[in-house]
Amino acid sequence: MYISRKLKEQSISEYLLYMWQVEDLIRANGCDIDKLEQTVVSAYQLPEPQHAELVEWYANLVEMMRLEGVQQSGHLQINKNVIIQLTELHFRLMHSQKFPFYQAAYYKALPFIVELRSKGGQDKSELENCFDALYGVWMLRLQHKEVSKQTTDAVADIVKFVGLLSDYFMKDRAGELDLED
């Protein structure tokens, strides 16, 4: 919760990846708040008020996952909304004459995005495919598994594209992004 708040203010893409990890962490604990308290929350060694607040945050996420039917797979609507907001901004940036570097980063990553879609991501947006790739590589690295050079190179272009989008998202949210031509 504390990490998610900080990330949401600093980098929307890192926030989203973190929240996907939280969803997986909840699933790994069987969507059981008692297990989460024992295995996750207790590891933070927080004073009682913060401990209770963190337990409540996880309990709310568990309940949302149950209500939305994403206990086994999928993402919470609050996380889907981030993808929707990023997609809307992406379209606005692509239709503006003011962001040629962003557009170039997108077109450089596009062959990899197309490849991702062809490998089973047809039902997802381009951005969700990008985040799936980033999350997948992150998980492989956390597990100390090898990531091929081809994948590393592809992800590097996706990271640049998503990073620019994330930066523009933060500027837009702060009212500092002028999209008018």
Say how many domains are in the chain.
Answer: 2
pLDDT per residue as tens digits for the range 91-145: 999 999 999 999 999 999 999 999 988 887 678 889 999 999 999 999 999 999 9
**Claim: this prediction has a pTM higher than 0.85:** yes
Q: Which of 41, 68, 95 is the last residue of a domain?
A: 68
Residue 40 Cα distances to 11, 25, 135, angstroms:
23, 9, 20
Last residue of a domain, one of 46, 68, 90: 68
Q: Are 51 and 89 found together in one domain?
A: no
- Identify the CA nearest to 161 among candidates 169, 171, 173: 169
Among 65-79, 108-122, 139-153, 166-180, which is the least confidently predicted range? Answer: 108-122
Does residue 75 fall inside a structural domain?
A: no
Residue 16 has pLDDT above 70, yes or no: yes
**How much of the chain exceeds pLDDT 90, in percent?**
89
Rounded to whole angstroms, the maximal C-alpha distance in the chain is: 54
Same domain flag for 86 and 51: no
Instruction: Flag the least confident range among 51-55, 106-110, 121-125, 170-174.
Output: 121-125
Same domain, 87 and 17: no
Reported confidence tier of residue 181, pLDDT bands at 50, 70, 90:
low
pLDDT, residue 2, reads: 81
Query: In the chain, where does DSSP find H-type helix?
Result: 2-10, 12-28, 33-39, 48-68, 77-94, 100-116, 126-142, 149-173
Range of the domain at 133: 81-173
